Amino acid sequence: MLDQLVSATIDGLTSGATLFLVAVGLSLIFGVLRVLNVAHGSFYAIGAFMAAVVWSLLGAAGLPSLLIYPGLVVIAIAVGIVIGPIIERCLLHWSFSVEPQSRREVIQLLATYAIFLILEDGQKLVFGTQPYYSGGALGLLGTTRIAGILHTNYQLLLIPLSGIVLLLLRLFLSKTRSGRCLIAVAEDAEVSATMGVRVTRMQTFSFTLGAVLAALGGALASPAIGVTIGIGADMVVLSFAVVAIAGLGQIEGTAVASILIGVAHSLTVFFLPILDTVSPYLIMLLVLLVRPMGLFGMQRQRSI
């Protein structure tokens, strides 16, 4: 019983780790652009597909398998840098000037939804409908026995890795000039524009950064999951649940919520399998009922 508890918790932490990467990207994009990126799950899926493809290419080319680890990061950055700016510049940017604001929100939701549809089908065209497996990459770093159950070191490493990403992100936001500009735009785009912040550039940058984070989540998760069409749709809803629980735009809160969701999910898989797919949403429901702005979110009151 206790063994199972420990092992479920560890599983939860590892899945929470990749979930955090995706969700924090979603939160970042929302914070700066005020856009809920429905296509975010697709970035995750594309990262995962690309990782699986590169894994099989490495095998085919006879290159050392360990190259997959730096490869995963490179893939994520490449995916984000290629699709992020194109989507933001060409398909989203025009919508920032739509008035009134409530209309703008609907339009932007529809726009990212449309992008999501295009990317989902695009994946089918490019990667086909068969699942990809790159499970071989899991075992390369060996295994560790914790409380009687074997865990791959790769998955265990994901936990500190996400912690490092969180730390880097926080350092970037509070210590660098661009990071502070980003926060300024998130607080108030108009005011920061008058103070000389290049708002447009910041928007493109944060959308790209968010896309990189989502693709990184997908690439890192890819060895542990079967990569199939449809993981993107599930992921966007799941990462929205995380972000809603945390409060939109809360970075550390997103980490807490990811762990909460990850652990709760794997615990239900072990102990209450009927509820496994539903548990994240039940948690979201409960949190939103008690705190409509999320655990760490703050209400912004419009002055009238």
Ligand X SMILES: Nc1ncnc2c1ncn2[C@@H]1O[C@H](COP(=O)(O)OP(=O)(O)O)[C@@H](O)[C@H]1O
- The residues binding ligand X (CB under 6 A) are 301, 303
Least separation in angstroms between residue 139's CB and other proteins is 30
Give me the amino acid identity at 131: P
Q: Which of 125, 150, 164, 290 binds other proteins (CB under 8 A)?
A: 125
Amino acid making up residue 100? P
Euclidean distance between CA atoms 111 and 89, whole angstroms: 13
Distance CA(263)–CA(276), nearest Å, equals 11
Nearer to ligand X, 299 or 303 (CB): 303
Q: Before 100, cis peptide (omega within 30)?
A: yes
Q: According to the binding rule CB under 8 A, does residue 191 interact with other proteins?
A: no
CA–CA dist 210, 239 (Å, integer): 12
Please check whether residue 175 is in contact with residue 169, taking contact to mean a CB–CB distance below 8 angstroms. Answer: no
Q: Is the alpha carbon torsion for 13, 17, 22, 28 positive or negative?
A: positive
35 contact partners, CB below 8 Å, separation of at least 6: 29, 92, 95, 108, 112
CB nearer to ligand X: pick between 97 and 301 = 301
Based on CB atoms, which residue is closest to other proteins, 50 or 284?
Answer: 284
Residue 229 found at the interface with other proteins (CB under 8 A): no
Over the window 31 to 60, marking each residue x when it contacts other proteins by CB under 8 A and - when it does not, the resulting string is -----x-x----------------------
The entry of other proteins, ligand X, none that residue 114 binds, CB within 5 to 8 Å by partner kind: other proteins
Cα–Cα distance, 131 to 180 (Å, whole number): 42
**150 vs 304, which CB is nearer to ligand X?**
304
Kindly tell me which of 36 and 197 has the beta carbon lying closer to other proteins: 36
Q: Give residues in contact with other proteins (CB under 8 A).
A: 30, 36, 38, 91, 94-95, 100, 102-103, 105-107, 109-111, 113-118, 120-122, 124-125, 233-234, 237, 240-241, 244, 248, 274, 277-278, 281, 284-285, 288-289, 292, 301-302, 304
